[in-house]
Amino acid sequence: MNEIEVKAKLKDKDAVMNRFKEMGLEIHASKHQKDTVFFPNNAADTSRHELNKNYLRIREQKTGVEKKVLFTLKQSRHNQLDSIEHEVEIKEEDILKMFAIFELLGFYQAVIVEKERITAKMGDIEVCIDDVVGLGSFIELEKFSEDEKSEEITGELYSIFDSWGIKKEDYVYVGYDTLMEQIKKHDFNNRRNW
C-alpha cells in the first residue's frame, strides 16, 4: 500500500479546528502516539530518509483507555512523504523483542517522537492535526493508494491546503522523525525545507 501525505506547520490551530467544524467534518477522539523510529545502520544521511531504504517504527498509541501497538515498515519512494507502507498490530509485551530484532537486522534506534493526534475523514483522505513534543502543531493530509499516482495525489492534497489558506512557506517536506533527528544533531541550516 502506498501512503501519500502532505504536511504543514500550523500557525493557528484553533482557526483550522473551527474550519473543520464549519465543514461538518467529524473530529475523532485525540490519540497519544509514541513512535520509536529505527534507521538502517548504513544510512548515509540520517537527517532525511533515503529513497528505497527501509525504515522501521513501533507506534504505541493510546485513545482513552484503549491501547494499540503497531509495527510499520516504510520505504520512501519519490520523496520522504510518499512511501510504501506495511503495518501490523503487535502485542505490547513484544515491543522489546522487536527492538532487539531490529538491531540484529542492522537498524538502530534513531529517535522517539511523541504527539497528540486528532483526526477527521474527508472522503478517502485522512486529516490529522498533530501537537508534536518539541516541534509544535502541524496538519497532515494522508491518502492511501494501490497504484503509482503519487504525483497526482500529492497535487490534489496540496490544492486542498491552498483552498484552506495554508501557505507554501508553511509546508513541511519531511517526517517528524527527520525533524527531530535534525534538531538532535543541531542541523538547523535548512529549516525552510521542513
Band of pLDDT at residue 192, cut at 50, 70 and 90: very low
- Is the pLDDT at 189 greater than 80? The verdict is no
CB distance 90 to 102 below 8 Å: no
Helix (H) or strand (E) holding 165: none
Question: Model's pTM, two decimal places?
Answer: 0.84
Give the homologous superfamily in CATH for domain 2-193: Hypothetical Protein Pfu-838710-001 (2.40.320.10)
Segment 88-97, tens digit of pLDDT: 999 999 999 9
Grid coordinates representing 40?
Answer: 538502517
How confident is the model at residue 50, as a pLDDT? 65
Q: Is it the case that residue 139 has pLDDT exceeding 90?
A: yes
Q: Of all helices (H) and strands (E), which one includes residue 52? A: none
Q: What is the mean pLDDT of residues 3-28?
A: 90
Q: How far apart are the first and last CA of the chain?
A: 25
Closest by CA position to 130, among listed 113, 145, 143, 144: 113
Give the chain's count of helices (H) and strands (E): 4, 9
Indicate the helix (H) or strand (E) that contains 100. Answer: helix 95-104
**pLDDT digits over 116-137, tens only?**
999 999 999 999 999 999 999 9
At 136, give phi and psi (nearest 5°).
110, -160
